[in-house]
């Protein structure tokens, strides 16, 4: 081994063991080295007792998976490259041609789009149900139903559903599909902090780690958590086959975010409630949607099942304001920037055309704007909103 090129790759130095730091080491690799052929043949990655290939886990991703499982009050976690990938993975792991998936009408939009395009093309049918009416879910369950998505609260419109009631409806019909019916919750809003998904009856809890666990608005990742090992294996073997690996440096960013997550959740919760109460008093606004506000849809259920609320709130303008004026309001904001996603340091807003994205009745005529409240001073955010509301009047 005299040539420098060989020495630089096969170097004998090993640093001393025992380096102990606050944050876990970031280990990255596609290839994992085996000492012998026998070891290569025997190594089992399924139970996290060893390493075979970067796609199937590294010490860094295993560490993050264990912490996310703890956050959710679950047992088993699989990481994927985005929150949307987590939704798609659950669909792909569970659904086969001839099955049907039921999705809340107010669900995260791309969950519905995946069903409309990919699932429908694969012979899997889908239907939307009204999550505020457990009887509507009961009416839509059939012998084909294999998977029921849950989301609390609804994306954009923030109605808080009665999760135990929806789960009870599914449990009463569980045997109609030969393999049973699985409930999967998109728990990005609750994040494992506002309520425990498994205590409320979900079989699977999915999160966009992109949001709270990261907290930095600079990384995309998702997780699929279960308590049941057989269900975990269904998801995890599909994960292996579709190749949804996550990068070590991305896992590092989420691991860094986790330590401050409960503090960020609480700070943004408090700021969001302050702004929601203030917005309720503004004359241009017809309704403020936030589960912790009395009068917001599902408020009593939120109060029964949750100990906190996330940083999202939506406002609906009075019917007299045309969309162009609502758009001007959004463009006038200085601190709230226009952009998707939420739970990062910067406050964000996006106007939505709600009737275009739902089939259940929508009681309002005016435009809706959804806000993500960041970590700026609440007084500054309130002044920004006040200025933009005033600017809207004079246009």
Ligand X SMILES: *Cc1c(COP(=O)(O)O)cnc(C)c1O
Interacting residues toward ligand X by CB under 6 A: 82-84, 108, 155, 186, 188, 208, 210-211, 220, 222, 341
In the bound state, the residue with its beta carbon closest to ligand X is 83
- Residue 111 or 284 having the CB closest to ligand X: 111
Percent of the chain as helix, strand, coil, to the nearest 5: 40, 15, 45
Instruction: Name which of 181 and 220 has its Cβ closer to ligand X.
Output: 220
Rounded to the nearest whole angstrom, what is the least distance from the CB of residue 106 to ligand X in the complex?
Answer: 10
Report, in Å, the least distance between residue 208 CB and ligand X: 3
* Closest approach of ligand X to the CB of residue 211, in Å: 6
**Residue 94 CB burial class (10 angstroms; 0-12, 13-18, ≥19):** buried
**For ligand X, which is the closer residue by CB, 141 or 182?**
182
Min separation Cβ 49 and ligand X, Å: 30
Question: 369: Cβ–Cβ under 8 A, 6 or more apart, which residues?
Answer: 314, 315, 317, 326, 329, 330, 349, 350, 351, 352
CA gap 319, 2 in Å, rounded: 80
Report in angstroms how near the CB of residue 341 gets to ligand X at its nearest. 6
Supply the minimum distance, in Å, between the C-beta of residue 155 and ligand X: 5
User: Looking at beta carbons only, is 291 or 366 nearer to ligand X?
Assistant: 291
d(CA 315, CA 343): 18
Q: How far is CA 242 from CA 88, 98, 229, in A?
A: 11, 21, 20
- Beta bridge partners, 127, equal 102
Contact present, 89 and 78 (Cβ < 8 Å): yes
Nearest to 316, CA basis, from 346, 295, 343, 338:
295
Nearer to ligand X, 188 or 314 (CB): 188
Measured from the CB atom, the residue of 152 and 392 that comes closer to ligand X is: 152
In 3-state terms, what secondary structure has residue 63? helix
């Amino acid at each position: 081994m005299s040539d420098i090129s060989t020495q630089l790759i096969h170097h004998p130095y090993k640093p001393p063991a025992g380096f102990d730091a606050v944050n876990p080491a970031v280990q990255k690799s596609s290839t994992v080295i085996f000492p012998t052929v026998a070891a290569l043949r025997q190594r089992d990655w399924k139970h996290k007792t060893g390493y075979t290939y970067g796609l199937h886990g590294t010490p860094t991703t295993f560490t993050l998976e264990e912490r996310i499982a703890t956050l959710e009050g679950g047992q088993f976690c699989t990481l994927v490259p985005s929150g949307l990938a987590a939704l798609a993975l659950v669909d792909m792991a569970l659904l086969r041609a001839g099955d049907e998936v039921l999705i809340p009408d107010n669900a995260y939009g791309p969950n519905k789009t995946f069903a409309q395009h990919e699932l429908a093309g694969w012979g899997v049918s889908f239907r939307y149900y009204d999550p505020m009416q457990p009887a509507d879910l009961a009416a839509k369950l059939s012998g084909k139903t294999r998977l029921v998505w849950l989301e609390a609260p609804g994306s954009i419109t923030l109605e808080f559903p009665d999760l135990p009631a929806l789960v009870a409806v599914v449990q009463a019909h569980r045997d109609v599909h030969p393999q049973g019916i699985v409930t999967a919750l998109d728990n990005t809003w609750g994040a494992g902090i506002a309520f425990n998904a498994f205590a409320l009856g979900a079989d699977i809890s999915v999160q966009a780690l992109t949001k709270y666990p990261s907290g930095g608005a600079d990384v995309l990742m998702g997780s699929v958590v279960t308590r049941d090992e057989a269900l975990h294996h269904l998801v995890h073997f599909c994960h292996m086959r579709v190749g949804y690996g996550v990068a070590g440096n991305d896992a590092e960013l989420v691991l860094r975010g986790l330590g401050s997550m409960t503090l960020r959740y609480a700070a943004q919760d408090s700021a969001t409630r302050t702004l929601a109460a203030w917005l309720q008093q503004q004359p241009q606004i017809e309704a403020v949607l936030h589960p912790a506000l009395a009068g917001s849809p599902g408020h009593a259920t939120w109060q029964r099942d949750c100990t906190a609320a996330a940083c999202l709130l939506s406002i609906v303008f009075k019917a007299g304001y045309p969309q162009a004026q609502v758009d001007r309001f959004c463009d006038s904001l200085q601190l709230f920037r226009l952009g998707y996603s939420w739970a990062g340091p910067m406050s964000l807003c996006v106007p939505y055309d709600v009737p275009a994205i739902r089939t259940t009745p929508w009681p309002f005529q005016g435009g809706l704007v959804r806000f993500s409240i960041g970590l700026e001073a609440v007084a500054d955010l309130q002044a920004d909103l006040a200025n933009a509301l005033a600017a809207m009047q004079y246009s």
